[in-house]
A = this chain, B = another copy of it.
Amino acid sequence: MSATSRPATPGPARRTGGRSAAVLAAVRSAVEDLVSERGIAQVTIPMVAERAGVNPTSIYRRWGDAASMINDLATYRIAPDRPLPDTGDLRADLTGWAQELVEHFRQPAAAALLRGGAAAAGDGDSDCLRNRRAEATMLLDRAGSGLPVDEVIDHVIAPVVYRVLFRPWTLDDDLAARLVDRLFAGR
């Protein structure tokens, strides 16, 4: 057979829209609710299925187990293609971006998902914060600053994440600005 008529996508066709998408949305919403109501440990697949109005089997087949499901949903919860702050000033951009981060994780559902992500992380490819690091890298690259990404990770992302996980009530309004100030003060 000639290869010319093959579509761009190799593998088997995916069903990305319609019913599959509806199931995904229902499951996502159910997981967010349940996980913030009861904590990750108490969330089971049959429970999510019932809340989502979906058959448990569908969840088992798509994700296999609760940990993978939660990690997957935690990873993609902030759209990776949303517009990033772009004022021309690196410091202002970082502050705005960090502020978004804090605000995002002030939602109980987002915090709970992060806890789930943390529980499932460590094995390299399950890391629900990788998109966040990619964003930081982008901001720094665009500004052509010599600031290493690791500095932003250690002194902005890490403190926010720590607080989200262990002391969520300390996520105050000026945390983002404080951390970014400290980042620039140190050099």
Contact A39 B120, beta carbon cutoff 8 Å: yes
Contact A112 B122, beta carbon cutoff 8 Å: yes
| Chain B residues positioned under 8 Å from A167 (CB to CB) | 127
In the complex formed, the residue of B with least CB distance to A36 is: B122
Contact B67 A122, beta carbon cutoff 8 Å: no
Contact A120 B41, beta carbon cutoff 8 Å: yes
Question: How many chain copies does the complex carry?
Answer: 2
Contact A166 B65, beta carbon cutoff 8 Å: no
- The verdict on A162 contacting B157 (CB below 8 Å), with A41-B119, A122-B115, A185-B186 known, is yes
Is there a chain B Cβ closer than 8 Å to A165's Cβ? yes
| Chain B residues positioned under 8 Å from A140 (CB to CB) | none
Contact B39 A122, beta carbon cutoff 8 Å: yes
| Chain B residues positioned under 8 Å from A119 (CB to CB) | 39-41, 115-116, 118-119
In the complex formed, the residue of B with least CB distance to A170 is: B150
- A129→B167 CA distance, assembly (Å): 10
- The residue among A66, A115, A127, A159 with the most chain B CB atoms within 10 A of its own CB is A159
Contact B165 A182, beta carbon cutoff 8 Å: no
Contact A115 B112, beta carbon cutoff 8 Å: no
- The verdict on A179 contacting B154 (CB below 8 Å), with A39-B120, A119-B118, A122-B112 known, is yes
Is there a chain B Cβ closer than 8 Å to A47's Cβ? no
Contact B67 A118, beta carbon cutoff 8 Å: no
| Chain B residues positioned under 8 Å from A120 (CB to CB) | 39, 41, 115
| Chain B residues positioned under 8 Å from A121 (CB to CB) | 115, 165-166
| Chain B residues positioned under 8 Å from A168 (CB to CB) | 122
Binary flags per residue of A36-55, CB closer than 8 Å to B gives 1, else 0 = 00011110000000000000
- The residue among A163, A167, A168 with the most chain B CB atoms within 10 A of its own CB is A167
List 3 tightest A-B contacts by C-beta distance, closest first. A158-B162, A41-B67, A119-B119
